[in-house]
Structure 1
Amino acid sequence: MDINQLEPKSVWKNFANLNAVPRASKKEERVIAFMKQFGERLGLETFSDDIGNVIIRKPSSPGLEHKKMVTLQSHLDMVHQKNADTEFDFDTQGIEMFVDDDWVKAKGTTLGADNGMGVAAIMALLESETIEHPPLEALFTIDEETGMTGAFGLKGGILKGEILLNLDTEEDDEIDIGCAGGIDVTATRSYNQKESVHGDVGLEITVKGLKGGHSGMDIIKGLGNANKIMNRLLYMGLPYNMRIAYLEGGSLRNAIPRESVCHLNIGKKSVAEFTLKFEELSRAIKNELLVQEPNLHIVLKEMKPAKKVMGLGAQGKLIKALYGAQNGVYAMSASIGGLVETSNNIAKVIVKEGEITVGCLTRSSVDTAKLDLASSLRSVFELAGFQVTFSGAYPGWNPNPNSQILTIAKETYTNLFKHEPRVIACHAGLECGILGQNYPEIDMISFGPTIWGAHSPDERVRISSVQKFWKYLLEILKHTP
């Protein structure tokens, strides 16, 4: 079925048009131009700020000029991830989508529903000539996924809205009123490369088939982390005098790593016993993760031995540091049931050509707890001889249960769907916390359609949920003060 034939057609049409434009984080030049052309073509007030955010304003429907201006906000960038066997160039190709029952998916790549569905809904509102609405202000931010640069760079005094609807959550029965803050933790060190021993056997270890997903929203699911699984296998191999030549796992900090590959050398006499222990541990790991990760594959095969390998000292410190570093849920919220308070994702590990880089994303709804866990990671890696830096810190969003727009949203949802929504705070970075710094008086909530597997090639958006989300959004706009 053609995406453009799905209902609501105006939303899906705009989503398809948006997905034809490459829009990786920090490479948003084309999508910024696309969005400015869209607003200008409609004859609406359209401009971009100094950082690259695009703002489009639309006057109210006749007779609704007295209502408060509503700012509709979504981010333009998307996470670019693909399966290892998928041939795709994100810099030049548009996302290839298809319909599967009640879902829209992409062919081997991320879909961009996060946050493209929110962008498309706002576009549909801006171009509509029939939908009644209050004064509207669309805020399309950049680089949300890898630094929230757009939200950080938005200066005070630009926005005119008194209510902000962030359209960037992923379960259609939720209204979000709070989120976690985050900080990037990066550990680096160099190591001496040693000449390989003549006669050593080369081996390649591959961990693949994991689900991956959002390192905040999905961290509670206990999914496998390819970097931690690989490191567990390497730790097992320490007594066999193996020597790492190359290691690379994961990519983006906000994505749970799905794959890892390691090249190593090992003495010919140790291969048989190492292989036996490797197979035993692989079976154990797959059994432990059988429910969460039924498609996990751990593969060992022989390859040409590497000419240079890591020194044993640096290798041992790396493996033990990664073993000791916290990954996954660190603490649950004491005030909101079922909410992860603090977590860490060991997102990326690279070992090659004498340099090691480990990239983590630490999150918490409590700023002091975020810094506490980040300091714990710093301590582990510094003990192993790494240099550790903190960067990209952003604040959380403190819930306001007395929000006027929250009351309206709850009542509207209950009247429409005959049951109450779930009012939550989420363990992910939403731009609301940052926007609230320069716009402390703006009244904010966040909601959106059901999206599964965000930040992974398994990303999908539920078609019936988009219909529900669109109906809900229009009804909220009818009842704003």
Structure 2
Amino acid sequence: MRNYNNIKERHSIKTNHLNTSIASIELSKNVPLNYQTKLKGMSAEIRNIEPKVVWNHFADLNAVPRPSKKEERVIQFMVDFGKKLNLETFVDKVGNVIIRKPATAGMEDRKTIVMQSHLDMVHQKNADTNFDFDTEGIKMFIDGDWVKAQGTTLGADNGLGVASIMAVLSSNDIPHPAIEALFTIDEETGMTGAMGLEGGILTGDILLNLDTEEDDEIGIGCAGGVDITATRTYESENTPENTVAFELSVTGLNGGHSGMDIHKGLGNANKIMNRLLFDGFTNYGLRISEINGGSLRNAIPRESFATMVIDTVSKEPFLFELNELINEIKSEFASLEENLTIELKEVETPETVMDLGVQIGVIKSIYGALNGVYRMSPDIEDLVETSNNVARVIVKDGAIKIGCLTRSSSETNKWDLANSLRSVFELAGFDVEFSGSYPGWLPNTNSDILKVLKNLYVEMNNAEPHVAACHAGLECGILGQNYPKMDMISFGPNIRGAHSPDERAQISSMQKFWKYLLEILKNIPSKN
């Protein structure tokens, strides 16, 4: 345990990350944002879905650009929302928005609840989608029983949770106890909002986290995580003479949530690209000029691109063998990745390539870095305990950066895998940094609010809910550090393909979730 603690002590976490300091945000209407203009491009059909109050708030929210670490606009949006309702509204020192609403008549004797969701969303888009997340609102449409976005992530994670809380706060006819609405920032890229929330700000006894993506699941635990970043520099060499250059691309993969989907065996574009480069180097002396693979730390990489050169005399056998390997890889993923596309096209020869010795280390370290499930839970059936996602690979202009996200519900195994990855990269000459470490959430099967939710679910659906821990990062574990006596639970509507452009929210499930939430609010236990 001493080694794990030493590691954690050496890597501090910065929480005040906003580009514009929170202190400079005026809690008024001094930051004009023409949301109505942005909303005109949205389909009116979204606003007519039941429950209309939730989908209208979701549409309003999705008109506001809200990438992680750039939440100034959505923070102001939420502040304006709370102030307009004449509710106590404030922003804490890291950017979390807290809105308080008194209990409705007859509910004053119930325990105060904290309703919590995060404001930021994962930004992913298809390669052929022309979209600017920093300036545009999400373009949504209805496809049968699902709401989707046009070539981008939808923001249902966790926008539907935020919208549901907004619907309760703005209501005049929903019975509920006293509410503290907690809208955290930067959940998707470090959970710095939850980490920065100080003890004593909240007074609630029960926390309802609305960030679960299965409507028959009640979450009572989650995995922790740590970011692993390996960096090093290299000397560029002039591209050898008598070579031909190619751009190799791996595209069309499903991607998905690097925690919830990690056990599915989906393709990782970075690992597939490295396999192709390794084969070309080993057999034909391939030299790498650039690599750009993956995108976000918490998304399974969908695309990777590389520029490399090969001796002209080796061109034909190289192309033949590469094509054979491409067909083998496609065959391996045939049942999982129907749209996997691996293409090679001849391009203009680059001026430089990587130093050969460094190139060998890079290729071998990526090959040696575990991607996928490291250990299954010994206590909970079918639950991934520990995993890693090789999320990002960049080689360009003399600098290399490889980013991984390791998750685990076991702190000791989280650091065990982190140290394993660290060793692989350090053997290849990388400097390795651990950052953004956050704890898991230990299940409490004796939770009072769990009993309420289970009983109501059975009563309303004539079926038992799935009470489970998940292999994803929820903020409950972090919040519990400063609020250890708070009884916490997580639930939500069906969301599929989170963290990918295939993200979609089920309309019928949202209706089911909303009715469930309203009954939960009516049945919060009394203070005594």
TM over 0.5, yes or no? yes
Which whole-Å CA distance do the structure 2 matches of 1:149 and 1:380 have between them?
Answer: 28
Deviations 1:215-237 (A, max 9, x none): 00010111000000000001111
The 5 A counterparts of 1:72-87 are: 72-87=115-130
Aligned to 2:68: 25
Aligned to 2:15: none
The 5 A counterparts of 1:224-303 are: 224-238=267-281, 239-303=283-347
Which whole-Å CA distance do the structure 1 matches of 2:462 and 2:313 have between them?
Answer: 69
2:366 alignment partner AA: L
Deviation at 1:292, TM superposition (A): 1.0
Which whole-Å CA distance do the structure 1 matches of 2:484 and 2:257 have between them?
Answer: 28
Which whole-Å CA distance do the structure 2 matches of 1:420 and 1:478 have between them?
Answer: 20
1:478 counterpart = 2:527: no
Which whole-Å CA distance do the structure 1 matches of 2:395 and 2:107 have between them?
Answer: 60
Aligned to 2:512: 468
Aligned to 1:217: 260
The 5 A counterparts of 1:317-328 are: 317-328=361-372
**3-state SS of the aligned residue for 1:477?**
helix
- Calculate the aligned-residue CA RMSD, in Å: 0.6
**3-state SS of the aligned residue for 1:2?**
helix
Deviations 1:211-264 (A, max 9, x none): 001000010111000000000001111121111001010011000000000000
1:135 counterpart = 2:178: yes
Which whole-Å CA distance do the structure 2 matches of 1:242 and 1:284 have between them?
Answer: 20
The 5 A counterparts of 1:327-406 are: 327-406=371-450
Structure 1 residue runs of 4 or more that deviate by more than 2 Å after TM superposition: none
Which whole-Å CA distance do the structure 1 matches of 2:461 and 2:180 have between them?
Answer: 27
Deviations 1:149-200 (A, max 9, x none): 1000000000111000000010100000000000000111111100012221
Which whole-Å CA distance do the structure 2 matches of 1:266 and 1:354 have between them?
Answer: 20
Deviation at 1:68, TM superposition (A): 0.4
1:58 counterpart = 2:108: no
Deviations 1:312-353 (A, max 9, x none): 111111111111110001110000000000000000000001
Deviation at 1:137, TM superposition (A): 1.0
Which whole-Å CA distance do the structure 2 matches of 1:271 and 1:334 have between them?
Answer: 50
How many residue pairs get aligned? The number is: 481
Deviations 1:78-109 (A, max 9, x none): 01111111101111100000000000000010
1:111 is aligned, of 154, 159, 171, to: 154
1:36 counterpart = 2:79: yes
1:169 counterpart = 2:222: no
**3-state SS of the aligned residue for 2:380?**
coil
1:123 is aligned, of 166, 169, 183, to: 166
Which whole-Å CA distance do the structure 2 matches of 1:311 and 1:158 have between them?
Answer: 54
1:443 counterpart = 2:487: yes
**3-state SS of the aligned residue for 2:357?**
helix
1:414 is aligned, of 458, 463, 471, to: 458
2:145 is aligned, of 76, 79, 102, to: 102
1:479 alignment partner AA: N
Aligned to 2:25: none
Aligned to 1:193: 236
2:196 alignment partner AA: G
Aligned to 1:151: 194
**3-state SS of the aligned residue for 2:485?**
coil
Structure 1 residues not aligned, in runs of 5+ = none
**3-state SS of the aligned residue for 1:12?**
helix
1:7 counterpart = 2:25: no
Deviation at 1:17, TM superposition (A): 0.1
1:316 counterpart = 2:323: no
**3-state SS of the aligned residue for 2:228?**
strand
2:475 alignment partner AA: E
Which whole-Å CA distance do the structure 1 matches of 2:453 and 2:90 have between them?
Answer: 29
**3-state SS of the aligned residue for 1:27?**
coil
1:466 alignment partner AA: M
1:453 counterpart = 2:477: no
Deviations 1:101-138 (A, max 9, x none): 00000001000000000000000000010111111110
Which whole-Å CA distance do the structure 1 matches of 2:204 and 2:497 have between them?
Answer: 32
Deviations 1:266-311 (A, max 9, x none): 1111111111111111111111111111100000111111110012
Which whole-Å CA distance do the structure 2 matches of 1:120 and 1:242 have between them?
Answer: 52
Which whole-Å CA distance do the structure 1 matches of 2:495 and 2:189 have between them?
Answer: 19
Deviations 1:23-53 (A, max 9, x none): 0000000000000100110011111111110
Which whole-Å CA distance do the structure 1 matches of 2:362 and 2:59 have between them?
Answer: 45
Deviation at 1:428, TM superposition (A): 0.5
1:227 alignment partner AA: N
Give the TM-score taking structure 2 as reference length.
0.91
**3-state SS of the aligned residue for 1:345?**
strand
**3-state SS of the aligned residue for 2:522?**
helix
Which whole-Å CA distance do the structure 2 matches of 1:321 and 1:52 have between them?
Answer: 38
**3-state SS of the aligned residue for 1:253?**
coil
Which whole-Å CA distance do the structure 2 matches of 1:165 and 1:292 have between them?
Answer: 35
Aligned to 2:22: none
**3-state SS of the aligned residue for 1:458?**
coil
